[in-house]
């Protein structure tokens, strides 16, 4: 009887030691509160939504148990997207959090997100705005808001093992390189040529025909200056660029210079009768150079469009809600023309 008691006592000691050791190891795993929230929001297939029930996803703050339960209930929802930096920003944050905490859950989630990116790529090299849901304009090849370029930059970081991506499993390197190569081919195919000259890119393209396409009512098929800048900056990352890549970059830069609007700027003024109490007008400004967000494909005229989907040629001619609610003018190409392009030319012996 005493022998049995001694054996039982020893087992208790062993179990106590095991569980205390496990608890000690668990306690040593560091966590990051934002990364923890990202794990909760990640969908089962690897992507992340940008909003749930039209409410923007915000990772700062503490989620209640009820909020966690609500988010997790949509784990299989097909709302994963690359719009507004969704998925790319989470992957970037998680690899950085992994480096700082060595928490394996963060790297696992990031790599699941990378697999999701690779799976979402079309055979022609482009990416949709959403995946797996691709209804309406969501299935179009999307440069809008830099969606596709954000993904390509993540993949190129994997290839180069930069910006914290050296922690990613080596099995992704060749896959990322192939995806980048196909992505560059898509970029070259979709650069718009007008009267025999390379220009810039549209914000969206039909995923089958690779022709410029409209998205929302106020986002027509057109040349897009903002998105084209990000495309050129990505192409400038390419080591030992081919002649095709060099021509694409140079052609776009020439076009940016051609369509610049020197001597003008925009100004917000008080307008109590307007929807937001303000209005946006174009004013003369000798010290300013701006670009329109959208240009007509054939004429290169700046175009503006309200929720009525009617193309107009002056900012003042569209409804005031859209006039104030969208970036119709900007200085997107300025740094590219003044600094980035000259530096790239010198680095590639093109001076």
List Cα–Cα distances, 130 to 83, 119, 121, in angstroms: 7, 12, 11
Give me the CATH code for the 28-189 domain, please: 1.50.10.20
Total residues found in the chain within this entry: 351
Q: CA-CA distance, 164 to 97, in Å (whole number)?
A: 10
Architecture of domain 191-345: Alpha/alpha barrel (1.50)
Residues of the chain with CATH 1.50.10.20: 28-189, 191-345
The one catalytic residue in 89, 133, 216, 312 is 216
Average pLDDT over residues 33-42: 98
Q: Are 203 and 177 in contact (CB under 8 A)?
A: no
Which pLDDT tens digit goes with each residue over 278-314? 999 999 999 999 999 999 999 999 999 988 999 999 9
Q: Is the pLDDT of residue 4 over 50?
A: no
The one catalytic residue in 84, 103, 144, 146 is 84
Give pLDDT, residue 11.
37
168 phi/psi in degrees, rounded to 5: -70, 145
Average pLDDT over residues 98-123: 98
216 included as an active-site residue:
yes
Q: Is the dihedral of CA 173, 178, 183, 188 positive or negative?
A: positive
HSE-up of 310 (CA within 13 Å, CB side)? 7
Q: How many Cβ atoms from other residues are within 10 Å of residue 2's Cβ?
A: 6
pLDDT above 70 as % of the chain: 92
Q: How many Cβ atoms from other residues are within 10 Å of residue 7's Cβ?
A: 10
Q: Give the pLDDT band (50/70/90) at residue 27.
A: low
Average pLDDT over residues 235-240: 96
pLDDT above 90 as % of the chain: 86
Average pLDDT over residues 16-30: 51
Q: Which of 225, 220, 304 is nearest to 260 (CA)?
A: 225
Q: Which of 12-26, 98-112, 323-337 has the lowest mean pLDDT?
A: 12-26
Give pLDDT, residue 303.
97
pLDDT higher at 20 or 288: 288
Average pLDDT over residues 241-249: 98
Q: Is the dihedral of CA 78, 81, 86, 90 positive or negative?
A: positive
Q: Are 196 and 210 in contact (CB under 8 A)?
A: no
Burial of 264 (0-12, 13-18, 19+ CB in 10 A): middle
Give pLDDT, residue 207.
97
Q: Are 94 and 100 in contact (CB under 8 A)?
A: no
Q: Is the pLDDT of residue 153 over 50?
A: yes
Q: CA-CA distance, 170 to 112, in Å (whole number)?
A: 14
Q: Are 283 and 264 in contact (CB under 8 A)?
A: yes
Q: CA-CA distance, 17 to 15, in Å (whole number)?
A: 5
Q: CA-CA distance, 130 to 137, in Å (whole number)?
A: 9
Which pLDDT tens digit goes with each residue over 40-63? 999 999 999 999 999 999 999 999
Which pLDDT tens digit goes with each residue over 59-89? 999 999 999 999 999 999 999 999 999 999 9
pLDDT higher at 6 or 259: 259
Average pLDDT over residues 233-262: 98
Give pLDDT, residue 296.
97
Burial of 261 (0-12, 13-18, 19+ CB in 10 A): middle
């Amino acid at each position: 009887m005493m022998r049995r008691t001694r054996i039982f006592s020893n087992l208790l000691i062993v179990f106590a030691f095991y569980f205390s050791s496990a608890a000690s190891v668990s306690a040593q795993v560091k966590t990051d509160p934002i990364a923890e929230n990202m794990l909760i929001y990640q969908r089962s297939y690897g992507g992340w939504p940008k909003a749930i029930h039209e409410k923007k996803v915000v990772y700062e703050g503490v989620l209640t148990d009820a909020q966690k339960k609500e988010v997790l209930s949509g784990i299989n929802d097909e709302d994963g997207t690359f719009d507004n930096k969704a998925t790319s920003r989470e992957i970037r944050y998680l690899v950085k959090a992994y480096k700082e905490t060595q928490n394996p859950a963060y790297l696992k989630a990031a790599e699941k997100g990378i697999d999701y990116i690779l799976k979402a790529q079309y055979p022609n090299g482009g990416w949709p705005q959403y995946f797996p849901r691709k209804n309406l304009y969501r299935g179009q090849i999307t440069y809008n808001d830099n969606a596709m370029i954000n993904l390509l930059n993540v993949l190129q970081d994997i290839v180069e093992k930069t910006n914290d991506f050296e922690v990613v499993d080596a099995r992704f390197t060749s896959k990322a390189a192939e995806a980048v190569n196909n992505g560059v081919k898509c970029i070259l195919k979709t650069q718009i040529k007008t009267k025999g000259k390379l220009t810039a890119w549209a914000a969206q393209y039909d995923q089958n025909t690779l022709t410029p396409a409209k998205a929302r009512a106020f986002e027509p098929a057109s040349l897009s200056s903002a998105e084209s800048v990000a495309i050129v900056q990505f192409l400038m990352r390419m080591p030992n660029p081919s002649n095709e890549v060099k021509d694409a970059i140079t052609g776009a830069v020439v076009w940016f210079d051609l369509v610049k609007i020197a001597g003008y700027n925009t100004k917000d003024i008080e307008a109590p009768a307007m929807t937001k109490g303000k209005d946006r007008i174009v004013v003369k400004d000798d010290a300013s150079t701006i670009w329109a967000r959208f240009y007509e494909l054939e004429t290169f005229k700046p175009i503006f469009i309200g929720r009525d989907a009617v193309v107009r040629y002056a900012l003042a001619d569209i409804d005031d809600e859209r006039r104030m609610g969208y970036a119709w003018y900007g200085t997107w190409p300025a740094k590219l023309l003044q600094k980035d392009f000259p530096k790239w030319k010198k680095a590639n012996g093109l001076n």
